[in-house]
Amino acid sequence: MSSNASATVVRTGAGSRFVIYTLLILFCLYYLLPLYVMVVNSLKPLSEIQAGGMMALPDEWTLAPWASAWSTAQIGVEATGLRPFFVNSIVMVVPAVAISTVLGALNGYVLTKWRFRGDTIIFGLLLFGCFIPFQMVLIPMARMLGIVGLAGTVPGLIFVHLVYGIGFSTLYFRNYYQQFPTELVRAAMIDGAGFFTIFRRIMLPSSGPIAVVCVIWQFTNIWNDFLFGASFSDFDSQPMTVALNNLVQSSTGVKEYNVHFAGAIMAALPTLLVYIVAGRYFVRGLMAGSVKG
Amino acid sequence: MSQGAQGRRGGNDWLREALPKIVLSPSLAMVLIFVYGFIIFTFYLSFTDSRILPSYELVGWENYSKLFRIRAWDTAVSNLVIFGGLYIVICCALGLALAILLDQKIRAEGFIRTIYLYPMALSFIVTGTAWKWFLDPGIGLQAVVRSWGWESFTFDWIKDGDMAIYTIVIAAVWQTSGFVMAMFLAGLRGIDNEVLKAAQIDGASNVALYRRIVIPQLRPAFMSAFVVLAHMAIKSYDLIIALTGGGPGTATELPATFMYSYTFTRNQMGIGAASATIMLMAIAAIMVPYIYSELREKK
């Protein structure tokens, strides 16, 4: 959403403005409700939830559910808490995001400034790869990871996210570099600057905004992934989303709703933080991923 | 340039020429193998008698004819139609309505937008967990309303085989409608205000302005929203796992969950591959024309 575009010129009377504001506020409550439920119930003892007090503020405030979710809760068969899986997700996300962004930048640069016959087809192939149902690659990928010894490991997951993340990162940089004046690149070529020099000196310095968009998009997508995590990790390498699901779905003992909510917030916190800090870029990424350009 | 450098020039030119392609080639190779190669592999498996492991024994269309006779697949497909249809229609209606409301020179527009859109940053597993317990009749909404004194209040869709699919719609709409709102808002901001002013002078009512002038101009936004939502609906997997696990019974099974359970827990890999192939066909039918038209316009 560009800030220079202005709101509508349609005029509304005082009565309808009251209705509009009421509706907008009601929808704010609707969107905030689940977050409220998660936060409030992660801070109260289980008994208060069981007594039908899910919407109420805690009578007794406690951080015990958070401590439990982080370090002692039962995940699958072991009482490890979510901490090791939070670490797994971090270890998985950082290299996958970094590498896919760098490759995306280089690809975008080639596809816009060093064009060759068939480059649009190649871009189309990369792009379609973003949208395939990943069910279509699960079986061979599981086989291949097994053969090369990466099945059930974090590096295996990094690899998978890298492969299926390249399409989007290429899309972002390509669309961005397309707006970049080709004359500048031409002039540098005539001055004898090489491929990488032009990239480093001319393209990179102005790539800040799109790099942020791309990093945020990849980070959110990879952090939030469940399908690949569930398919290609084993107990020790499962990412946060898979561990959270195991925590919530475990059928042994009493269901500790407050611990589940605390765990859910932990899984949500990194992406939520990114959204709050850099929401503008997050939205740009979303839009570029759908309304291309 | 000296004579010596001259000698290497031919090599340099070749390198200069080829370097961009060399840089692009690892990505291209990865995509060719791990996207298209794997698609072909799975497609091939869908014609084999693979069970727990891939087998290369061809059996023709058997997996497909079996697949269409499996009741759970039937359920999954009709669930996708119900879920996808409602999801797309409600998200578009709600997104458009919110975008129009937010477009009326609203104070704190940015703040409200932030609230509408934050669910998009969450994992479907988080969304599923939150809604799972909120909709759980034992402790969630139903229990809360009863504790407030309305003893007969009942809201147990999530436990009801006929209604559970609608709880998926509720949670999915909650997660995505803010994003659709943002798409429509961007569309609204692109509309030429001069036309609107002229129509206003001619005395057109606000409703007429939107129906006749504004909404018809949002066609591209509708297209994008449809493509994004349809493709998300077909791929929906995490949310079902977290919210209902496909249950009660198979009441909320979708093609994505069907494929996973047939391939990896029931060891019917051939049938799983066939179901994945059908999912791919459905997505391709939506995405290929869209990508094609986007890339053509850009030329």
Chain A residues within an 8 Å CB radius of B144: 52-55
Report the 10 Å Cβ neighbour count for A276: 12
| Interchain pair A283, B23: CB under 8 A | no
What are the structural domain ranges in chain B? 71-298
Cα separation of A37 and A32, whole Å? 9
Contact A231 B39 (CB under 8 A): no
pLDDT digits (tens, 9 = 90+) for B135-144: 999 889 998 8
ipTM: 0.91
Which pLDDT score, from 0 to 100, does residue B26 have? Answer: 94
3-state secondary structure of B58: strand
Residues in chain A with CB shorter than 8 Å from the CB of B279 are: 133, 135-136
CATH class of segment(s) B71-298: mainly alpha
**Residue B297 confidence class, pLDDT cut points 50, 70, 90:** low
* Structural Rg of chain A based on CA atoms: 24
Q: How confident is the model at residue B169 (pLDDT cuts 50, 70, 90)?
A: very high
More confident residue, B138 or A4: B138
**Count of Cβ atoms closer than 10 Å to residue B85 Cβ:** 13
AA identity, residue A55: M
Q: Across the interface, do A126 and B27 touch by the CB < 8 Å criterion?
A: yes
Least confident piece of the model among A98-112, B118-132, B138-152: B138-152
Residue B68: what pLDDT?
94
A1/A237: higher pLDDT: A237
Distance to chain A for B216, nearest Cα, Å: 15
Nearest-by-CA chain B residue for A56: B144
Cβ atoms of A30 and A22 within 8 Å: the answer is: no
Of A128, A138, A272, the CB nearest to B263: A138
Q: For residue A78, give every residue at least 6 positions away whose Cβ sits within 8 Å of its Cβ, in sequence order, or none.
A: A235
Which residues of chain B have a CB within 8 Å of the CB of A54? Answer: 133-134, 139-141, 143-144
pLDDT, one tens digit per residue, over B65-74 is: 999 999 999 9
Each residue of B229-288: pLDDT tens digit?
999 999 999 999 999 988 898 899 999 999 999 999 999 999 999 999 999 999 999 988
B88 vs A118, residue with greater confidence? B88
Average pLDDT estimate for A140-168? 94
Q: How far is CA A217 from CA A112, A206, A234, A281, in A?
A: 21, 19, 26, 9
One CATH from 1.10.3720.10, 1.10.357.10, 1.10.10.10, 1.25.40.10 for A83-290: 1.10.3720.10
A99-113, B53-67, B208-222: range with highest mean pLDDT? A99-113
pLDDT at residue number A291? 45
**Is the pLDDT reported for residue B6 higher than 70?**
no
Mapped onto helix, strand or coil, the DSSP state of residue B196 is helix
d(CA B46, CA B60): 9
Q: What percent of chain B clears pLDDT 90, i.e. is strictly above it?
A: 60
Q: How far is the alpha carbon of B70 from chain A, nearest alpha carbon, in Å? A: 19
Which residues in chain B touch residue A267, judged by CB atoms under 8 angstroms apart?
A: 123, 125-126
Q: Choose the weakest-confidence range: A135-149, B162-176, B185-199.
A: B185-199
Question: Which residues of chain A are in CATH 1.10.3720.10 domains?
Answer: 83-290
Mean pLDDT, chain B, integer: 89
